[in-house]
């Protein structure tokens, strides 16, 4: 393993189905995630990492001792093993393109699915390089197995190259990030890091220190079911009611019509029948106070629909999901500044980009562990057009190693 490439690791990891599941009553939400977590525990030990633990929740935690004689903040490096519930992660057939020449990519397992150059500007960075796509029948799993492969390759380098000077390093692999539960049982005190980084981003050079703040809204419509042959003036069809609600949600603040720092309201899971229907709606805004504005917009829609269907019972519940990590990260600028310098030393032109989503780092930062995010080289996550730039994974490894060295250098200079 000591001479494996990041691509070798990535191809091995994506062969393991780790799709998570919403509304599960187990933790992890799918037990198959433990297959990869156990493998990572084994591989860490094979790489010579002596302190490796997998706890009852599936978290894999490892410690790499410092190799410098000065006090350096303990740095954590984190990636998640699960893949999105939205598309199957079973029987992944990676399509390795050794020298991408540019242009659209027709996927071999389903030629109706095409990765279009015009829709993927980061493909320009991949020309002449190796990329990996799906075959078009599953997702690839680069979110976040590209991150897992990058972290494991960084561990391989740390274990094999004593010239890389660093303080104590904590490694963590987590389950269930994709269903918002990646840090549900994560013990920050036990982890023992002062600062951390998730390796869970996309385009090479893009770094993240701010995310959406997020709430989940569940709208429920209770109707009245009866045989359609005798339904006149009796039936209350909740499917029609909830369809009316969805149709009235403003289209100018949806994911399809917004970008950058713009907020959105996103109905994304619908379950229904005549008697009862529900829709889950995501509220997203970089300003936490903006979430209440989105909630009021939806409440106004419900109040418009209630008189149209007076015999239907319409209710909504809102719960907190995660908060923008920016405020916590900004409390100590070193965690972001050293990461930025680490990416520059990797030969990149790094830029800070807001995440129109969340990471484990959102929750960890809110809980007191500042945790910005590092790119992986992947793109089009959560779908069959997912792909990854292997050069981007390699640069993620370099950025991690450089950042660890910078922490040690700066600590030596401050004595």
Active site amino acids: 82, 177
Alpha-carbon gap, residue 85 to 317, rounded angstroms: 22
Let me know the angle formed at the C-alpha of 370 by 194 and 39, rounded to the nearest 5 degrees: 75
DSSP conformational letter for 118 = G
Task: Please give the structure tokens belonging to residue 59.
Answer: 């978290």
Residue 255 DSSP class? G
Residue 182's φ and ψ, nearest 5 degrees, are -60, -30
- Tell me the C-alpha to C-alpha distance, in Å, between residue 157 and each of 145, 277, 376: 18, 52, 17
Cis peptide before 144 (omega within 30 of 0): yes
**What residues contact residue 310 under an 8 Å CB cut-off, 6+ apart?**
none
Q: How many residues does the structure list for the chain?
A: 415
Q: Which residues contact 171 (CB under 8 A, 6 or more apart)?
A: 44, 49, 60, 61, 62, 63, 64, 76, 77, 78, 151, 155
Pairing of strands 206-208, 105-106: unpaired
């Amino acid at each position: 393993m000591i001479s494996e490439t990041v691509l070798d690791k990535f191809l091995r990891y994506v062969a393991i189905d780790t799709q998570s599941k919403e509304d599960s009553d187990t933790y992890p939400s799918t037990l198959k995630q433990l297959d990869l977590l156990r493998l990572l525990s084994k591989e860490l030990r094979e790489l010579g990492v002596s302190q490796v633990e997998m706890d009852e929740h599936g978290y894999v935690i490892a410690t790499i001792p410092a190799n410098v004689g000065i006090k350096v903040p303990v740095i954590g490096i984190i990636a998640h093993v699960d893949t999105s519930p939205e598309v199957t992660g079973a029987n992944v057939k990676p399509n390795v393109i050794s020298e991408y020449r540019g242009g659209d990519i027709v996927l071999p397992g389903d030629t109706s699915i095409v990765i279009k150059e015009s829709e993927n500007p980061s493909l320009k960075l991949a020309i002449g390089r190796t990329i990996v796509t799906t075959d078009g029948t599953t997702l690839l799993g680069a979110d976040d197995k590209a991150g897992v492969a990058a972290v494991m390759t960084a561990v391989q380098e740390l274990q094999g190259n004593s010239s890389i000077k660093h303080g104590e390093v904590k490694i963590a692999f987590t389950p269930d990030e994709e269903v918002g539960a990646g840090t549900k049982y994560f013990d920050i005190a036990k982890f023992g890091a002062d600062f951390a980084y998730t390796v869970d981003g996309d385009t090479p050079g893009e770094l993240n220190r701010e995310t959406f703040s997020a709430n989940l809204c569940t709208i429920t419509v209770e109707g009245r079911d009866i045989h359609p042959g005798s339904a006149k003036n009796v039936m209350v069809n909740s499917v029609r009611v909830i369809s009316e609600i969805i149709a009235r949600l403003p289209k100018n603040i949806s994911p399809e019509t917004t970008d950058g720092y713009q907020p959105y309201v996103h109905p994304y899971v619908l379950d229904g029948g005549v008697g009862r229907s529900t829709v889950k709606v995501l509220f997203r805004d970089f300003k936490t106070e903006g979430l209440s504005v989105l909630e009021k917009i939806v409440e106004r829609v419900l109040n418009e629909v209630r008189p149209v269907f007076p015999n239907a019972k319409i209710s909504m519940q809102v719960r907190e999901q995660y908060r923008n990590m920016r405020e916590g990260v900004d409390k100590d600028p070193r965690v972001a500044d050293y990461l930025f310098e680490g990416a520059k030393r990797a030969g990149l032109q790094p830029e800070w980009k807001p995440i129109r989503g969340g990471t484990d780092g959102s929750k960890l930062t809110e809980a007191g562990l500042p945790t910005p995010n590092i790119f992986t080289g992947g793109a089009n996550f959560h779908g069959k057009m997912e792909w990854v730039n292997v050069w981007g994974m390699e640069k993620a490894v370099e950025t991690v190693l450089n950042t660890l060295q910078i922490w040690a250098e700066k600590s030596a200079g401050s004595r």
